[in-house]
A and B are shown apart, each in its own frame.
Chain A
Amino acid sequence: MAIKLLAVLFTLVAIRRVVVRYRRGGALTVEFVMWFLIFSGIGVVVFIPHVTDRFAHWIGVSSGFNALTFLAISGLLYSVYRLLSRLQNVERDITRLVRAQAIDRAERVTPALDAPAPATPPPPPAK
């Protein structure tokens, strides 16, 4: 019984967040529909678990719980991969921006007025 209560609470909180984000324009309609179906699916499946057994039989797994665990872990791993991949691209873009700015603003160190003459002549301008 506790699992049903927890699942319903989780579903309500998650759906509320999805709706609020969509209303604020933070998500596309297709994203909204996808997340709405995923979270409401969790809330429904906990009341009719035998539905998942049919699905498990269809994909060749012994029970509905195993099938859901398998799918959840696969989905999570794929999400982590996508997140890391995007993060890597964002990091690379930031470095590119920082690099371009640093090179554009390169400054040649100027000798102090009271400093001794430099050991070697200053290099010629950029080729």
Chain B
Amino acid sequence: MPLGYSWLVPSLYLIVPAFNEARVIQTTLRNLPARIAGVDDVTVVVIDDGSTDGTADEVRRTGDPRVVLLRHGINRGLGGALGTGLAYARRHGADFVITYDADGQHAPEDIETVLRPLVEGKADAVIGSRLLDPKGMPWYRIAGNWGLNVFTYVIFGMWTTDSQSGLRGFSRTAIEQVEIRMDRMEVSSEFIKEIRRCRLRFAEVPISAIYSDYSLAKGQRNLNAFNILIRLVLHRLMED
């Protein structure tokens, strides 16, 4: 039995934050692998973050009993939704958590890539990095992401090649310690801060990104980077 396995049935909670993703959420959920190596029990936690386009109904229509739907009464942002997913996973004693974007930009097979170091007990926090092999990534995205990587390093003192990646994995040790306080997009950098604060064993694995017109329109724009910078600075200044 590899190091890190629970002698019980290891459980994975796949956290999928979704805000107005009615067009693609069914496809994203249906594309999730039926079985994931290393875990026997998979729960897909979709957090409908106050969507107004019927995202929740589309999630119900999948009819997939692995899916649990959590609905935010009002929009709280990416960080708010991820925090809700983590709180749910913590409450239900998840062994592993993976965060996964709802817009279809992740390759489903990368779930196993991110999960592997956790299951093998080699890391407590894993970032799926799109920039270790940025094939197909628009140049302006590469530039924007590198800028935010540098900024995250300056503010929080930890280097990662893809601080804004939506595909991340955490072991139970991490799930119990990581505290999410930021509500919006800046949460991606906050995860890096938390990995450092909690002194978690950290690994990066290369993942691919699927860029469709839809995911490019929904994802972070370079203009958002300035908002993220300002929020991160404010957070750093006003931390209590």
Contacts and interface: CB of A to CB of B under 8 A. Distances in A.
Contacts, number: 94
Nearest to A102: B70
B183 A95 contact: yes
Interface stretch (B39-47, B147-155, B200-208): B39-47
The SS class assigned to the B binding surface is mixed
B65 A119 contact: no
A29 interface: no
Given A98-B80, A102-B84, A111 B70 contact: no
Contact of A115 (B9, B63, B71, B91): B63
A98 B85 CA distance: 12
A85 B219 CA distance: 29
Interface residues of B, number: 37
B47 to A, nearest CB: 7
Interface size range of chain A in the complex = 20 to 34
Contacts of A30: none
Interface of B: 9, 11, 34-35, 41-43, 47, 59-74, 76, 80, 83-84, 87-88, 91-93, 181, 183, 234, 238
Interface of A: 81, 84-85, 88, 91-92, 94-95, 98-99, 101-103, 105-112, 115, 118-120, 122-124, 126-127
